[in-house]
Amino acid sequence: MRSVVIAGASLAGFSAAQALRKRGFDGTITVVGEEAHLPYQRPPLSKQFLCGEWDRSRLGLRIADGLKLEWLLDARAAALDPQRREVVLADGRRLPFDGLVVATGARARRPGWWVELGGVFTLRTVDDAQALRAHLASGGRKVVIVGAGFIGSEAAASLRSLGHDVTLVDIDPVPMHRVLGEDLGRACLRLHESHGVHPLFGAAVDAIVGSTSVEGVRLRDGRVIEADCVIVGVGAVPNVEWLRGSGLVLDDGVVCDSTCAALGAERVVAAGDVASWTHPHYGQLRIEHWENAIAQGDAAAATLLAAPGAGRPYAPVPFFWSDQYGCKLQLVGSPRRGDAMRVVEGAMDERRFVAVFERDSQLTGVFLFNSVHRVAAYRQTVAAAWAGLTAGAEA
């Protein structure tokens, strides 16, 4: 293999590039990125950068000398030609490859009622965050945040720290409901309330109201919540459209086997938010988190360099963190809706606790609230629980 093209110049793509070099690949690596920027960190966009604690210069990822990467930025991969093994760019250029890493990530979901209007934002890219910061700069904004997942919740915390008036709206009964469930979500709700957020849960948004700039958000029950800034944080959509018709299997991401090899083509792998792979423990899984993008970039690179069919299964213990109001929230594993939850250390009211999720008496995940010192141990516990299950299944 002499040439690798990496589509997507962000965390997973850059991690794959680094891993290829670390593993001795000395052919050409071309990294194609739709954004005009070299890879940067997204997590601070809703945290330190939004608060103004960090400036733009702190966001960039460190790119070591000597990696010999060819960057094609501000360039969109528009198609994959599987016969000629070429990535076709939107401007018509064709990039032949021996190996391809798909790392085109995800974009902010725009619901049916989305409108392009002054004061309406999503928060996915540094350009989004810079535009939002500029809009907020005059201070004293009346902000409605639609979606109380982790990005919406973090944005609420950051904007309260800047003194803006914040209403947090979600169709679910509590924040982060889909990941954490009702009881832990209620603890998150109390956190928002104690910092002066106006909560509006179980409320469906119907429309954004305004003529030249946003004036409010209309709910399905007819109420209009006044706003001069609206942030829509209702999930992300994997960027796979450019691969339609390429023969790759697409289904909520690029479908891969357990080694991150894409189904439907030779020597094509996927990593990060765009990859849906067969996790040996959880089955088909797509993870939209920082640590996975790094680790899966590495795993995908290893598979690309291995002999066909000789890649190793990628089986991480899923992990993410979120920072809200100075509190650290961490989730280990991948609990599913309906798993039983119980607090095993500390207490929710003390805002320092650990809760475990179980299904059929098996540990599926651990949630840590302001308990950073315990996370390493619980990661081992979850991994050991799987190992026990696997051993049990094999006996």
Residue 123 within binding range of ligand FAD, rule CB under 6 A? yes
**Distance in Å, CB of 365 to ligand FAD, minimum:** 15
Q: Which of 17, 77, 268, 329 binds ligand FAD (CB under 6 A)?
A: 77
Determine, following the binding rule CB under 6 A, whether residue 318 of this chain makes contact with ligand FAD.
Answer: no
Helices vs. strands in the chain: H and E counts, helices first: 7, 26
Beta strands 120-121 and 229-232, pairing class: parallel
Cα separation of 332 and 330, whole Å?
Answer: 7
Q: Is 375 helix (H, G, I), strand (E, B) or coil?
A: helix
Q: Would you count residue 10 as binding ligand FAD (CB under 6 A)? A: yes
d(CA 229, CA 119): 5
Instruction: Kindly identify the residues of this chain, within the stretch 40-59, that bind ligand FAD according to CB under 6 A.
Output: 42-43, 45-46
In whole angstroms, the minimum distance from the beta carbon of 294 to ligand FAD comes to 8
The dihedral region occupied by 92, where left means phi > 0, alpha psi between -120 and 50, and beta the remainder, is left
> Does 253 engage in binding with ligand FAD (CB under 6 A)?
no
Taking the complex as a whole, the smallest distance from the CB of residue 121 to ligand FAD amounts, in Å, to: 11
Gap between the Cα atoms of 54 and 134, Å rounded: 14
322 binds ligand FAD (CB under 6 A): yes
Structure tokens at 364: 């599926």
Region from 54-62, 104-112, 180-188, 276-284 binding ligand FAD, contact rule CB under 6 A: 104-112
Closer to ligand FAD by Cβ: residue 210 or 275: 275
Interatomic CA distance for residues 344 and 52, integer angstroms: 36
Instruction: Please give, one letter per residue, the 3-state secondary structure of 302-316.
Output: HHHHCCCCCCCCCCC
Report in angstroms how near the CB of residue 36 gets to ligand FAD at its nearest: 10
Options 277, 290, 314, 378; binder of ligand FAD; rule CB under 6 A? 290
Out of 124, 141, 177, 281, the only residue in the binding site for ligand FAD (CB under 6 A) is 124
Instruction: Tell me if 365 contacts ligand FAD by CB under 6 A.
Output: no
CB 1 within 8 A of CB 267: yes
- Selected binder of ligand FAD within 234, 255, 289, 331 (CB under 6 A): 289
Structure tokens at 368: 């840590």
Closest C-alpha to 363, from 390, 383, 393: 383
Among residues 165, 170, 228, 288, the one that binds ligand FAD under rule CB under 6 A:
288
106-108 and 236-238 beta bridge pairing: antiparallel
- Judged by CB under 6 A, the number of residues near ligand FAD is 36
Min CB(44)–ligand FAD separation in Å: 8
Least Cβ distance, residue 42 to ligand FAD (angstroms): 3
The stretch near ligand FAD (CB under 6 A) out of 205-213, 253-261, 289-297, 376-384 is 289-297
- Greatest alpha-carbon span in the chain: 67
Q: Is position 335 an interface residue for ligand FAD (rule: CB under 6 A)?
A: no
Two structure tokens written together for 310? 């000789």
Q: What are phi and psi of 384, to 5 degrees?
A: -65, -35
Select from 22-30, 179-187, 223-231, 282-290 the region that touches ligand FAD (CB under 6 A).
282-290
184 is written with which tokens?
Answer: 């832990």
Whole-angstrom Cα distance, residue 79 to residue 67? 27
Binding site for ligand FAD (CB under 6 A): 7-13, 32-35, 42-43, 45-46, 76-77, 103-106, 123-124, 151, 239, 242, 272-273, 288-291, 293, 320-322
